[in-house]
Structure 1
Amino acid sequence: MQFYRRTLALPGVRTLLVLVFFARIPGTAAGMALTLHIAVTMDRGYGAAGTVGAVATIGIALGAPVLGRVVDRYGLRPMLVVTTIGEATFWVFARFMSYPMLLVCGFVGGLLVLPAMSIGRQAIAALVPEDLRRTAYSMDSVSTELSFMVGPAAAVLVSTQFSTQTALMAMAVGIVVVGCALYVVNPAVRSKAEKAAVEKVPRRVWLTPRLVGVLLVGAGAVFILAGTEVAIVAQMQHSGELSWTGVVVIVWSAGSAVGGLVYGALTRSYRQATLMAWLGVLTIPIGLAGGEWWWLMLALVPAAFLCAPTIAATGEEVARLAPPAARGEATGLQSSAFTLGAAAGAPLVGFVVDHASPGWGFAIAGIGGVLVAGLAWVLAARQKEEAPIVVSPDTVAAKH
């Protein structure tokens, strides 16, 4: 536990972890609140809700690197002002919008989503020395798991106990509170040494095949997680035990959190492609667990242990390979990779489940992850193991 004690003793780390945990809750609740409003209150069905979600996802994927670049050039606060006003405005007026308007504004709202995930990862890289980043990113992954347990449940609670219109307004209030809190605290996105030595680096210098491979691993990991979530629901419905789904998902998330804590206490890091390959391999046979719901729950545990470590290792490697001057854009690309992985995993596995069986859903999610891990290995093989980029005029000139 010495790594955790040392990390938590660093100035600003405890405040950051608490802040980003609460900052991520509105984002994790957004999809559920919007889905319930469109599918239930507007009576447009889940397909229509999924279409709006897909359009918003495209906006998020396109906007994240741009917002990161804004942080690199102008700092955190200007970006927070734009995204807080933009996203809160969407949620205030969403309850009055027709379905076609939601399609259009969902894309614009996605472009302006407040990037709480990216902010947390950037701040960790600035506050935590490299030898403790594995532990810090592991805690960040556990925090993310917890926020995903709280956010959707809160959206369902408000929507069912009050109304979906109330839930949408609560989203607007939550975004404003989060944006103001981040603005006041203004977590550092570069250390003092990095600010003093910062120098612009062309994208082709730092966006190497190895970093692209890391981003692919991030997309592949979330592909597995999104696909597994769909397959869990399908399996529980198929076995007639849908009421136990919440328990299964909670145990699955708890297993991931435990795995993240264990990974953060290790004395060495493991390659992201290796972790994700094992995550995929352990996901493939989950569908073989038949019988009662607790068999499925137990079958999920081995793969669950590798979920948070894989995400944590990806964040650690992005922070290592990206120069401080481009860290915002790099973490934005990481967020885009996560978003696209989820956007691909859920519908693909859903299609397989509809035309085959829930067991094949787990298999496809795992096989997809293994294939992406293999592609990441190929990209890494094209480039020798590299040290973190040292920004200097010679480094930049050598690439021109």
Structure 2
Amino acid sequence: MLPRVRSLALLMFFARMPPAATGVILTLHVAVTLDRGYGAAGLVGAAGTIGMGLGAPMMGRLVDERGLRAMLRVSVTATAVFWLTAPLMGYWTLLISSFAVGLLGVPMMSIGRQVITALVPDSQRRVALSVDSISVELSFMGGPALGVFVATKFSTNAALMFIGASLLVAGVLLYWANPPMVHEDEVVDGPKPRIVEWMRGRIVGVLVVCTGATVCLAGMEVSAIASLEHIGEQSWLGAVFFAMCAASIVGGLVYGGVKRAPSVLVLLALMAAFEIPVGLGDGNVLLLCLLLVPMNLMCAPLIAACGEQISRLAPPTARGLAMGLQGSAFTVGGAIGAPLAGVAVDRGGAPAGFAVVGVAGLVVAGVAWALARQRKPVATGVTMAP
């Protein structure tokens, strides 16, 4: 790995840990410290999710037009103010502010992918984006655990301020590093293409695949939790999620080393198909973990492949917007997958949750395939079909 890529990848790993912990910390703070219950906590989380879905493309466009530092000045300020003052907020203030910080917050996931794209030549992007996907998995393994430790050892107020201080430090370091957001070999002179000139066919198909991926993943998490609660084995939840993340990391390592990688459509179809039978492990923790492995082997490769495709299909001068739209697609998928699985679980138990979300993933893959059939030229000649 290139020296500068290595140091920035390490920075992004730590910068992504606080955002990974925000959901669980806000949930604990609202439900326990403010004593408003988990329903109210879910509304705060939903407000933040909607804000992020709307804000990621906006922040990405700001990067395209004004540069990374201009975006960080806005985002880091808004983020630090929210998290450092959150312990002083009542519930309704927290609810409204959660949406605002989602709208203006630092899109660490999108920034990391765009930095990798800018620093690594096209021939090495698959490996670099695979490593980045593995880094995301590690952040989501370590971030929530560290946040819960602070919240339980001290208080949720301390955890909120810890997140704020961590994001402030990460933002300042990223501002100081100021990595390029466009590769040095890419042409950025001349008039910028309008969004209608490149947002069509294949790139829309990739965004649809991103949505389908998080439909499957969010539904998997809800169904897995329901399965463990059904047999009274909630204490094994950490082990189950560790198995998911470990499988994803292995998949990312394999994907980064193959010469000819499967397409995003194939990866999504495999993930969705492997999710359908996971419900057979309902009632048996070990079997559930084993059945979750195949679908999660596709997770990091699918995220990396989507980032690789978008980096090629979007024009360099609009890549921040495209990466932001990818983040929004992930957010939309999570917002669909979790309640879809929840309704299925309520009616048919955890096996129904896995099956329904898996079928939904296959349907989304079909929609993306239809979009990929459109052969109108976009930024490059890369195809999404297998």
Compute the TM-score of the two structures, normalised by the length of structure 2.
Answer: 0.96
**Residues 198 and 324, structure 1, Cα contact 8 Å, conserved in 2:** no
Q: 1:243-392 counterparts in 2 under 5 A?
A: 243-383=235-375, 388=380
Instruction: Please state how far the C-alpha of 1:205 moved relative to its aligned partner.
Output: 1.2
Aligned-partner Cα distance in 1 for 2:125–2:52: 26
**Paired position in structure 1 for 2:16:** 24
Instruction: Please state how far the C-alpha of 1:140 moved relative to its aligned partner.
Output: 0.7
User: One-letter code of the match for 1:83?
Assistant: S
Match of 1:102 among 79, 94, 97: 94
**Paired position in structure 2 for 1:393:** none
**Paired position in structure 1 for 2:160:** 168
**Residues 322 and 389, structure 1, Cα contact 8 Å, conserved in 2:** no
Instruction: Provide the secondary structure at the position in 2 that maps to 1:261.
Output: helix
**Paired position in structure 2 for 1:398:** none
Aligned-partner Cα distance in 2 for 1:77–1:279: 37
**Residues 314 and 379, structure 2, Cα contact 8 Å, conserved in 1:** no
Q: 1:14-163 counterparts in 2 under 5 A?
A: 14-163=6-155
Aligned-partner Cα distance in 2 for 1:286–1:95: 40
**Residues 88 and 172, structure 1, Cα contact 8 Å, conserved in 2:** yes
Aligned-partner Cα distance in 2 for 1:181–1:287: 44
Aligned-partner Cα distance in 2 for 1:198–1:65: 22
**Residues 198 and 325, structure 1, Cα contact 8 Å, conserved in 2:** no
Instruction: Provide the secondary structure at the position in 2 that maps to 1:94.
Output: helix
Instruction: Please state how far the C-alpha of 1:196 moved relative to its aligned partner.
Output: 5.5
**Paired position in structure 1 for 2:233:** 241
**Residues 226 and 345, structure 2, Cα contact 8 Å, conserved in 1:** yes
**Paired position in structure 2 for 1:183:** 175
**Residues 60 and 323, structure 2, Cα contact 8 Å, conserved in 1:** yes
Aligned-partner Cα distance in 2 for 1:301–1:46: 30
**Residues 17 and 140, structure 1, Cα contact 8 Å, conserved in 2:** yes
CA shift digits 1:136-170 (9 cap, x unpaired): 11111110000000111111111111100001111
Unaligned ranges ≥5, structure 1: 1-7, 391-400
Aligned-partner Cα distance in 1 for 2:242–2:343: 25
Q: 1:194-213 counterparts in 2 under 5 A?
A: 194=186, 197=189, 199-213=191-205
**Residues 95 and 168, structure 1, Cα contact 8 Å, conserved in 2:** yes
Say if 1:231 and 1:383 are closer, same or farther in 2 by CA, change over 3 A: same
Say if 1:347 and 1:196 are closer, same or farther in 2 by CA, change over 3 A: closer
CA shift digits 1:102-131 (9 cap, x unpaired): 121111111111111111111111111112
**Residues 199 and 325, structure 1, Cα contact 8 Å, conserved in 2:** no
**Residues 279 and 350, structure 2, Cα contact 8 Å, conserved in 1:** yes
Instruction: Please state how far the C-alpha of 1:246 moved relative to its aligned partner.
Output: 0.7
Unaligned ranges ≥5, structure 2: none
Say if 1:291 and 1:55 are closer, same or farther in 2 by CA, change over 3 A: closer
Q: Matched residues, percent identical?
A: 51
Instruction: Please state how far the C-alpha of 1:387 moved relative to its aligned partner.
Output: 6.4
User: One-letter code of the match for 2:144?
Assistant: P
How many residues are paired up? 382
Say if 1:315 and 1:86 are closer, same or farther in 2 by CA, change over 3 A: same
User: One-letter code of the match for 1:135?
Assistant: V
CA shift digits 1:150-199 (9 cap, x unpaired): 11111111111110000111111011011011011111101223366464
Instruction: Provide the secondary structure at the position in 1 that maps to 2:298.
Output: helix
Aligned-partner Cα distance in 1 for 2:293–2:376: 35
Aligned-partner Cα distance in 2 for 1:268–1:320: 17
**Residues 227 and 282, structure 2, Cα contact 8 Å, conserved in 1:** no
CA shift digits 1:48-67 (9 cap, x unpaired): 11111111111111111111
Instruction: Provide the secondary structure at the position in 2 that maps to 1:194.
Output: coil
Say if 1:227 and 1:84 are closer, same or farther in 2 by CA, change over 3 A: same
Instruction: Please state how far the C-alpha of 1:11 moved relative to its aligned partner.
Output: 4.3
**Residues 255 and 304, structure 1, Cα contact 8 Å, conserved in 2:** yes
Aligned-partner Cα distance in 2 for 1:198–1:244: 56
**Residues 228 and 283, structure 2, Cα contact 8 Å, conserved in 1:** no
**Paired position in structure 1 for 2:185:** 193
